[in-house]
Structure 1
Amino acid sequence: MKKWLLFASLLGSSAAVYAQSSVTLYGRIDTGIQYQTGMPQGNLFSMETGNWDTPRFGLKGSEDIGAGTKVIFTLEAGFNSLDGSIGSTLFSRQATIGAANPAWGTFKVGNMGAYELQQDSFDLDPQLMMLYGIQTLVRGRNWSDASNGFEYTSPTLGGLRVKGQYELTNSTNWNSGDPGSGPGQLGGAQGRSDGIELNYDAGIAHLLAIYDEIRDSNGEFDNVYVNSRSVMAGGTLAMGPVTLYSGYQHLSAPQASDEGYFGDGAPTSLPSGVSLPTAVDQEWIGARWNATPTTGFGAAVYHTNANHGNGNATLWTLTATYALSKRTVLYSEVATVRNSSTSNIGLGDGYSDPYGANVVDDPASGAANSRTDPNFGGSQTGVFAGILTHF
């Protein structure tokens, strides 16, 4: 008994010497109004949440355990600022624990959630994660989620930083996951996913390259907009108050097919020659101008091409922001998307408008009045304004 008391005393003394811990509560709230045209049932005026950034709250903390090493953790939940509801699970956005040291980098394990590697792609987006941007023409593919993960971020050496992720399936099959175990892309079940990222800062220039793959619960790449390989590269160039953006993304899903996606009830009113694409290419260019210390403007053009049709479209966007304070910003964006005759991409976020035809007999998407995409060959225009504050 005395030995255990002595051990506990020594442990407490050690903790008193080394442990310097901190816990921080943080969050964001984002709410606004929106008007969109070109939907099958007409135009829509609505109140929206998260048109710039997802409302969230979380706890993050660190404990100094000596020799420059800190034990770190993050718990983060997303919520809807319109009705106060929480996401699918309390800490679905992130629940990780790890260690960090300036000499060897940062290692995390747990639920990467909304911090799946692909979401770093928004560093290349001229519209800074606003609703209409690099995720629009790829139907939300850049909003990827992942669980059961490992993450390593290297120290920055000569301007170069490397980051990698690997997400296990927690299944007896190496690539396949347990359907319903999720979260996976857009809340669905996932198989194995992984990726690597290269970040290079050279003064006024920033270069970023990301390879990312997300498999379905069967371990396949069955939908180019959901479970696919993604290769992305681009950069930014800061010239005084103006920053230029440019990037390219290639998506590949070799197992994609109408039969695999729609099953026996494939839609009958798709344009001739249109089927689920197995590859998509997207490129974009844009700029941001900090006109004053509180006022900013952005403009960008995005274009995508898909094989087998159903993905050839161009998106034009304009944004404006005004900082009321260091914590609170007013924002607005206007955008127009125009489709080829074999495409029906809309201005949605990829959650309420997954891939599918705008027809009643589309078994994957439901009745036409539940859809927000334009009809094939159609266009859609949207505008929104909102307020975002963080704490």
Structure 2
Amino acid sequence: MKKTLIAAAVMAASGVAFAASNVTLYGILDTGIGVSKVKHQDTTVQMTTGMDSGSRWGIKGVEDLGNGYSVGFVAEQGFNSDDGNVANGSYGTTSGFTREMQLNVKGAFGTLAAGRFGTLASGAGSYNILQGWAFGTSYGDQGSWTRFGKAWARTNNTLVYVTPAFGGFTVSAMYSNGLSADTDKWSKNRHYYGLGLKYAGGPLNGSLIFEAVDGRGTAEEGKEGTLTNKYFANLGLGPVYDADQVKVEDKKDMTLDKQKTAYGITAGGSYDFGAAKLFAIYQYAWQKEMYNQHAFGLSVGVPVAGGEAKLGARYLIGKFDGEAKRNAKDFGLDDKYRAFNIDAGYTYPLSKRTKVYGFAGWSDGAKAYNNVEKGAWNGWTVAAGLVHSF
């Protein structure tokens, strides 16, 4: 009741009429300390934000229309608890409700929603169905599944339909009419397509997700040095030109061709044995003229001393395809890449709304990823923090 009254006061102060049957103000603050090292870079000690749970605040509400139907909304803003800046921006949305902005209708037919939210395998938002990794999308470069495998975060201009549950199964279909904007004609907007099957049945949970993002609108003209580094960044590699070389190469113009459609199939699940919960996940992702790769993960969660201990390991194996393979060889790079990662963590609840956590993760890359200065492939992190929900 208190949070509902606060939400009403916030909306009244902003000049918004308040006439909903159920409106709630909610949020999470996660602040900690992290020590990390990326290959060839200095060790850093930083105040962290959102390592375990992304810091956020939001307003959500629902109106009962009767006969089993309702209309609801979610407006959720991400922020950094260490400096107050906006967080979770992607695809051009860098202010406002960056985490989620949706309007939905629910009934016997299922759920239909529109707006901005996480994709099916993003690990984020109301309609994410990703299963199979004990650390989810937490703990940054070393811990998050979506920084190890391929993912498409949160998208704008998005529709989703979720069926009613049948025998523990639900089916989700998602489409974005423009990842960042849909103001151009359809053939120039970049689109997301997702189809997923989720199962929740007692100790067993699982999901199977197919996703595709077309390459419409990705052709780009610019300076050769800058665009070349951007091209290799899209392959998960570091810059091939340093700052001085970029200045030289940028004297020439260059055109990046339109990308091919990128695909991903992700299957994951967990089984709760009581004494331990076992997780397994696999993803195959490919994009013609760019890459094809396999990512595997095994992890476990175990109740320990009133909290939960987690341990996990992942392995990535991939190779560049077509034009990307030829370009990598032109710069003396291996056309194959590998990465290995191991994580350990512990969370302990101080109350129903507050918990502490500790985490340690280490990653190592090989072949083309051997010297990439990116924590997901080469680096380590040790962190601890406090999470409070309201």
Report the TM-score, using the length of structure 1 for normalisation: 0.72
Residue 251 (str. 1) matches residue 285 (str. 2): yes
Q: Are 2:268 and 1:234 equivalent residues in the alignment?
A: yes
Please report how far the alpha carbon of residue 281 of structure 1 lies from its aligned counterpart in structure 2 after TM superposition: 0.9
Deviation at 1:344, TM superposition (A): 4.4
Q: 1:121 to 1:299 in 2, by over 3 A?
A: farther
Note the aligned Cα RMSD (angstroms). Answer: 2.4
Q: How far apart in 2 are the matches of 1:167 and 1:110?
A: 9
Residue 114 of structure 2 is matched in structure 1 by: 109
Q: 1:125/1:143 Cα in 2 relative to 1: closer, same or farther (>3 Å)?
A: farther
Unmatched tracts of structure 2, length 5 or more:
1-18, 88-93, 123-127, 220-230, 237-258, 321-334
Could you tell me which of 355, 369, 377 is aligned with 1:329?
355
Instruction: Give 1:42 shift.
Output: 2.1
Q: 1:150 and 2:156 equivalent?
A: no
Hey, what does 1:281 align to over in structure 2? 294
Alpha carbons of structure 1 residues 142 and 324: separation in structure 2 relative to 1, 3 Å:
farther
Amino acid corresponding to residue 349 of structure 2 in structure 1 = A
TM-score by length of 2: 0.72
Give the corresponding residue for 1:163: 172
Q: Please name the residue that 1:301 is paired with.
A: 313
CA contact (8 A) 1:31 1:50 kept: yes
Q: Deviations over 1:126-175 (max 9, x none)?
A: 1133221322323xx43612010111111111111111111102244435
SS of the equivalent of 1:135 reads: helix
The aligned counterpart of 2:71 is: 71
2: CA distance between counterparts of 1:90 and 1:147? Answer: 13
Q: Would the aligned equivalents of 1:241 and 1:291 in 2 still touch at CA under 8 Å?
A: no
Does the 8 A contact of 1:300 with 1:318 survive in 2? yes
CA contact (8 A) 1:29 1:55 kept: yes
> Taking structure 1 as reference, are residues 128 and 329 closer, same or farther at Cα in structure 2, changes over 3 Å only?
farther
Tell me the CA shift for residue 381 of structure 1. 2.0
**Amino acid across the alignment from 2:78:** G
Q: Deviations along 1:279-323, whole A, 9 cap, x unmatched?
A: 12101111101224x311011110001103463011011111111
Distance 1:310 1:389, change over 3 A: farther
What CA deviation, in whole Å up to 9, does each residue of 1:226-264 have, x standing for no partner?
9832110021111013110011001112143xxxxxxxx
**Structure 1 unaligned blocks of 5 or more:** 1-18, 178-190, 257-277, 346-356, 359-371
2:125 counterpart residue number:
none
Q: What does 1:89-238 align with in structure 2 at a 5 Å threshold? A: 89-101=95-107, 103-112=108-117, 115-119=118-122, 120=128, 122-131=130-139, 132-138=143-149, 141-142=150-151, 144-169=153-178, 170-177=182-189, 191-216=190-215, 218=217, 223=234, 228-238=262-272
- SS of the residue aligned with 2:151? helix
Deviations 1:49-105 (A, max 9, x none): 11112111111101111111111111111111111122411112111112111x211
Which shifted more, 89-98 or 74-83? 89-98
Give the letter for the 1:245 counterpart: F
| Deviations 1:324-351 (CA, angstroms, capped at 9, x unpaired) | 0111111111111121132148xxxxxx
Residue in 1 aligned with 2:327? none
Superposition deviation, residue 216 in structure 1: 4.5
Q: Distance in 2 between matches of 1:228 and 1:33?
A: 36
Amino acid at match of 2:358: S
How many residues are paired up? Answer: 305
Tell me which amino acid in the other structure corresponds to 1:91.
F
1:338 equivalenced with 2:364 (yes/no): yes
The alpha-carbon distance between structure 1 residues 55 and 285, as it changes in their structure 2 partners (threshold 3 A), is same
Pair 1:316–1:63, CA change in 2 (3 A): same
